[in-house]
Amino acid sequence: METRTDEIADGIYRISTMLSEVAPPAGFTMNQFLVDAEEPLLFHCGPRQMFPLVSEAVERILPVERLRWITFGHVESDECGSMNEWLAAAPRSEVAHGAIGVDVSLNDLADRPPRVLQDGEVLDLGGKRVRHLDTPHVPHNWEARVLFEETTGTLLGGDLGSQLGGSAPLADGDVVGPAMAAEDMFLATSLTPATGPTIRRLAELEPRTLAIMHGSSYSGDCAAALEALAAGYDERLERARA
């Protein structure tokens, strides 16, 4: 298994491992994102078993022990399975998450006390700024959240927009068609009346890049893509109710 690193926006690196045995023949990527700043931040830890691969990839960009913030969207093993391995490898690092994630899971699961972020709170990383946004149940899990890096306009949206395949680090073609095809295969998203409106609020940020956890990241018209994703989920909710 090979883990590659690519800069997808200024100082934002996609760390990607293709799992060819998942959903063949397209395969499925596991991606983490490293925000290089005075206080470097990792978004998605990766599964515990992939920690050797992912930490070696981070080390190609900066010393792992410099990591200051360990972050992820929600509590699942691809998001945070290796959280405690990172806390051990980077002695000054802290997990940062929303209040629900911390109260429900992370106070117990994390080896050091997590930092609680309020909805809309910005972490100034020194050269980069990430805004924490609560997105309960979008794409799934009560504690779900995303981060928006303001200097590059990069939405660290986790599973949002995920696709099969996607070995290209950054694409600008149709992301919505492949994302909805993956949704129809995996049924991963919590379909609620809040799904579409929550995604539309993210479109209002007018991101310039979508950093996507599975598949290629996206640098086309991100607001339009998020609006189309929201419409796709609204349609599926309507169909489910009919």
Which positions touch Fe ion (CB under 5 A)? Answer: 76, 78, 159, 213
Q: What is the closest distance, in whole angstroms, from the C-beta atom of residue 92 to Fe ion in the complex?
A: 27
Q: How far is the CB of 65 from Fe ion (least distance, A)?
A: 26
Q: Which is nearer to Fe ion, 78 or 183 (CB)?
A: 78
For residues 13 and 72, which CB has a smaller minimum distance to Fe ion in the complex? Answer: 72
Work out how close the CB of 15 gets to Fe ion at its nearest, in angstroms, rounded to a whole number. 14
Q: Closest separation between CB of residue 16 and Fe ion, Å?
A: 13
Beta strand segments in the chain, E: 3-9, 12-19, 28-35, 41-43, 69-71, 94-98, 115-117, 122-124, 129-134, 145-149, 154-158, 170-171, 209-212, 217-218
Q: Are strands 41-43 and 69-71 parallel, antiparallel or unpaired?
A: parallel
Q: Which residue lies nearer to Fe ion by CB, 125 or 179?
A: 179
Helix (H, G, I), strand (E, B) or coil at 229: helix
Q: How far apart are CA 168 and CA 153, in angstroms?
A: 20
224 φ/ψ angles, rounded to the nearest 5 degrees: -65, -40
Q: Compute the least distance from the CB of residue 144 to Fe ion, in Å.
A: 8
Cβ proximity to Fe ion, 39 vs 183, nearer residue: 183
* Closest to Fe ion by CB, 76 or 121: 76
